[in-house]
Structure 1
Amino acid sequence: MTGRTGLEAVRIQHVLPYDPRQPGGVQTHTYALSRALSDVGHDSTIFAPSRPLRVSLGGTRADLALHPLDALALRRFLRLPHDLLHIQEPLLPAVGPLALLHPSPVPTVVTLHSAEVVAHRFYRWTAPLTRRLMRRADALICASPISHQTAVPAISYEPRIIYPCLDLAAFSAVTRNPEPNTILFVGRDEPRKGLTLLLRAIRQLPQAKLVIAGPVRHSTRQLADGRTTFLGPIPHEEIPLLMKSATCAAFPASGGEALGLVLIESMAAGVPLVASDIPGYRIATNNGDAALLSPPNDPDALAQNLLRLLDDAQLRERLANRGREAANRFDSHVIARQHLDLYQSLVPA
């Protein structure tokens, strides 16, 4: 059978270690990639945990496939007919290593996403084991140059860099109607995401209103005043509506970001950005051309850039146009084509 790309259709199995019901970049990427592959005639299916257990990884909370019943379900999944196996985050202590160790008659591709310091330390401490495990893969992808730097201790050959992807259609279709002086933050309240820094910066902007979409700790809420609205966790499909009304968005992470998918979604929706000047965000914003970048952990610089955006409509329009262009590089169909080139090189004709 031939896919709509004109190439032989491929049956691809994806293994995802995270709970797909929880927000996260790896989940977003995996499902967007799978849909894009299916759109062009390939058979793409995903294994994800049905009984995830919550763990803390370097300050980031994650729901992972650690339950024994998930391991049994994975074995059944891998027995289904397929031409290629693609494992996301194969070195997490979850289903990834089990999938790599499972005897497989088909090529195996793995993608490393993490850019966090704790991951680099883990890879360094376990290098003999992780290098041996990674040799079972036929091809290695890193989700960005930052992920590659993080993973160096765990790998023994150069990876291919293929960025994560997003289904940007709903964001690109947003008709903007921003409310004056409204700043949007979308994300989890983890120390590296910089929400407390943003709340400190907002104190310097008496005209600004802040809208926060995502779970927020009680201690963080105590830092806010009456100009801050806490929406709590928002279903992913409702986020484009939030972006419709934001004057701008702020992403003040201190590090640990391989790319920043929520930045890309915001740019696709035409929302001008202020973000931290960290490597992953530089990549996402086309080396800072599509956003105002502030030094990380500097509330004064963050406040100054937010004030510039709130006060300058022409700057907002210029950044919005550049942002839409920058976001298109990460559209799921663009990135799926890059994956297909790799898959086709591995699957026998």
Structure 2
Amino acid sequence: MHTKSGTAGQQNALRVGIICPYSFETPGGVQNHIRDFARQLRRRGHEVQVFAPGRRTADMPQYVHTNNSSFAIPYNGSWAHLSYFLNAGHTTRKWVRDGGFDILHLHEPETPSLSHKPLVMHDAPPMVATFHASIEPYPRALRLFTRYLRKYLSPLREAIFVSESAQKTAEHYLPQQVGVQTIPNGIECDFYRRAEPNPQWQGSPEAPTIGFLGRMGEERKGFTVFAQAAKIVHEAFPSARFLVAGDGQEDGGKTLDAIGADKGLRERFEFLGRVSDADKARFYRSLSMYVAPQTGGESFGIVLAEAMAAGCPVIASDLDAFRAVTEEGSSAALFVNRDANDCARRMTELIEDPARRQSLSQAGSIRSRSFDWNTVVDEVLEVYAKALS
């Protein structure tokens, strides 16, 4: 263990190696979680290095290293950029050996990518793993590999699930002797709470702004449900504006074509494209309400936690993961998954009831504190301590 006295209150600074299964070239929840978690550990004085597939980009932190190789496969309703073949294993294991880490943190080691590779090492440091994926129903392809994964994952000392939904998936193949704990994804609550609203995105009682954030080309992100609900709401509230952040404006336009959106509705949609973290926080802070219409494949619901931290009233589909984040809807208005009519009803209720919006804003703000990085990092460090003991 590397000693650094007087750094961020830490008497013993750890040297931590983190391996991500997905390329940082493409934005994603796991990549963002790893990036932000590493940043939090470094603020506390720990030494952190990250290894991931793909190539370096100009905006990558210096502590993120890549193997310059990746390929894309469809996975859990999205596209995953992985690295598994040729010298991927050798390169990963060399990175681990050269790193001299006190502990190795693997993310989704069940995935055929770099985080899978160190598990065969006999000279690896203690290993812990975080399981993010929630896949229901459990796919037949994974059933075929259950026995293999149970044996292959046996070197793990501790496992972290980001939610109960992720635990249900991972329990199919995680060895019983591995210690387990549920620790949610983290957010920096103050970052969202202190963001300044963008006047161009702010709504008013006469013209509320209703937001969506996500990749419009991925069915599971639910943009079609959002657009269909917007069409219904627009008929009753023609001045409402629908602000859309994220990749896929062309896909979004095709969706509006498919639902028969008229010129009036189209003029109320504003596509903002991919936004920076700072603008994402301003986005949440500016909206009259935020809608999370995801239809599946969500293990946690980080966007809900972020919006709640910004004090934005949230409307969300009733996925198990979202029910957990919102404490069964006590801090958000839930609607029946894939039901655009029910989604539109929730939008309408909040437009017509400012007191309800304020109540959800306050409840969400309080709930979001459970996901603050200060709490999450403390809990992960306790898992590290167990693995090192």
- 1:47 corresponds, among 41, 45, 51, to 51
In the TM superposition, residue 98 of structure 1 has moved relative to its aligned partner by 0.8
- In structure 2, what is the equivalent of residue 171 of structure 1? 192
- In structure 2, what is the equivalent of residue 126 of structure 1? 145
- In structure 1, what is the equivalent of residue 39 of structure 2? 35
Please say if residues 123 and 151 of structure 1, whose CA atoms lie closer than 8 Å, have aligned partners that are also in contact.
no
TM-score with structure 1 setting the length: 0.93
In the TM superposition, residue 102 of structure 1 has moved relative to its aligned partner by 3.0
Is residue 276 of structure 2 the alignment partner of residue 267 of structure 1? Answer: no
Distance 1:114-1:128 versus aligned 2 partners, 3 A rule: same
- In structure 1, what is the equivalent of residue 63 of structure 2? none
User: How is 1:306-325 mapped onto 2 (pairs within 5 angstroms)?
Assistant: 306-325=347-366
Structure 2 gaps, min length 5: 56-68
TM-score with structure 2 setting the length: 0.84
Question: Which one has a bigger Cα radius of gyration?
Answer: 2
Please say if residues 128 and 387 of structure 2, whose CA atoms lie closer than 8 Å, have aligned partners that are also in contact.
no
Please say if residues 123 and 130 of structure 1, whose CA atoms lie closer than 8 Å, have aligned partners that are also in contact.
no
Counterparts of 1:199 and 1:213, CA distance in 2: 13
Counterparts of 1:118 and 1:103, CA distance in 2: 35
Residue identity in the other structure for 2:244: I
Counterparts of 2:358 and 2:139, CA distance in 1: 39
Distance 1:221-1:62 versus aligned 2 partners, 3 A rule: farther
Is residue 209 of structure 2 the alignment partner of residue 209 of structure 1? Answer: no
Counterparts of 1:103 and 1:280, CA distance in 2: 36
Residue identity in the other structure for 2:232: Q
User: How is 1:63-142 mapped onto 2 (pairs within 5 angstroms)?
Assistant: 63-66=81-84, 68=86, 70-79=88-97, 80-117=99-136, 120-142=139-161
Q: CA RMSD in A?
A: 2.0
User: How is 1:15-26 mapped onto 2 (pairs within 5 angstroms)?
Assistant: 15-26=19-30
Secondary structure of the structure 2 residue equivalent to 1:314: helix
User: How is 1:225-240 mapped onto 2 (pairs within 5 angstroms)?
Assistant: 225-240=266-281
Structure 1 gaps, min length 5: none
- In structure 2, what is the equivalent of residue 162 of structure 1? 183
Please say if residues 192 and 285 of structure 2, whose CA atoms lie closer than 8 Å, have aligned partners that are also in contact.
no
User: How is 1:8-19 mapped onto 2 (pairs within 5 angstroms)?
Assistant: 8-19=12-23
**More divergent stretch after superposition (311-320 vs 60-69):** 60-69
Counterparts of 1:98 and 1:117, CA distance in 2: 26
Counterparts of 2:96 and 2:335, CA distance in 1: 46
Residue identity in the other structure for 1:257: E
- In structure 2, what is the equivalent of residue 283 of structure 1? 324
Please say if residues 196 and 282 of structure 2, whose CA atoms lie closer than 8 Å, have aligned partners that are also in contact.
no
Q: How big is each residue's C-alpha offset from its partner over 1:217-265, in whole Å with a ceiling of 9 and x where there is no partner?
A: 2532424522211222223332112223211110111222111111111
- In structure 2, what is the equivalent of residue 192 of structure 1? 220
Counterparts of 2:331 and 2:195, CA distance in 1: 18
- In structure 2, what is the equivalent of residue 253 of structure 1? 294
Counterparts of 1:71 and 1:30, CA distance in 2: 21
Residue identity in the other structure for 2:337: P
Q: How big is each residue's C-alpha offset from its partner over 1:53-77, in whole Å with a ceiling of 9 and x where there is no partner?
A: 2221132122223464654542332
Counterparts of 1:231 and 1:121, CA distance in 2: 39
**More divergent stretch after superposition (168-177 vs 179-188):** 168-177
**More divergent stretch after superposition (107-116 vs 219-228):** 219-228
In the TM superposition, residue 137 of structure 1 has moved relative to its aligned partner by 0.8
Q: How many residues align?
A: 348
In the TM superposition, residue 131 of structure 1 has moved relative to its aligned partner by 0.3
Q: Percent identity?
A: 27
- In structure 1, what is the equivalent of residue 283 of structure 2? 242
